[in-house]
Amino acid sequence: IVLTQSPGTLSLSPGDRATLSCRASQSVDNNYIAWYQQKPGRAPSLLIYGASRRATDVPDRFSGSGSGTDFTLTISRLEPEDFAVYYCQHYGSSPGYTFGQGTKLEIK
């Protein structure tokens, strides 16, 4: 499965709503899509799994949705610390797990 994220870069202001897209080349079983956040010089961290389930300690301004081939990460009201790169990932099936190419969320 190939994952295509859009846009490549998203320029928004604190307080704005962010909508990030992840499209799969074929239908994803069990909605096995995860989202990760990566800040510069840091390891990624898990935000969302199962397309819509927030990981432990993730603020509720982060939400995931979607099914089939189209998935979305929404950040309802951007905080300064949310500006980072976001990756979606398909997991749970052979031959292997794949990441999207990432969306950079930058301050406008």
Partner 1 sequence: QVQLVESGGDLVKPGGSLRLSCAASGFSFSDYYMAWIRQAPGKGLEWLAYISRDSTYINYAASLKGRFTISRDNAKRSLYLQMNGLRVEDTAVYYCARDHRSGYHLSWGQGTPVTVSS
Which residue lies nearer to partner 1 by CB, 69 or 92? 92
Give the 3-state secondary structure of residue 76.
coil
Spatial distance between the Cα atoms of 47 and 22, rounded to a whole number of angstroms: 14
Cα gap 31→102, rounded to integer Å: 19
Cis peptide before 40 (omega within 30 of 0): no
Other C-beta atoms within 10 Å of 6: how many?
A: 12
Shortest CB 66 distance to partner 1, Å: 15
Distance of closest approach, residue 29 Cβ to partner 1, in angstroms: 11
Minimum CB distance to partner 1 smaller for 4 or for 19: 4
Residues lying near partner 1 in the complex (CB under 8 A): 30, 32, 34, 36, 38, 42-46, 49, 55, 87, 89, 91-92, 94-102
DSSP 41: T
C-beta of 70: minimal distance to partner 1 in Å? 19
User: Among residues 16 and 98, whose Cβ is nearest to partner 1?
Assistant: 98
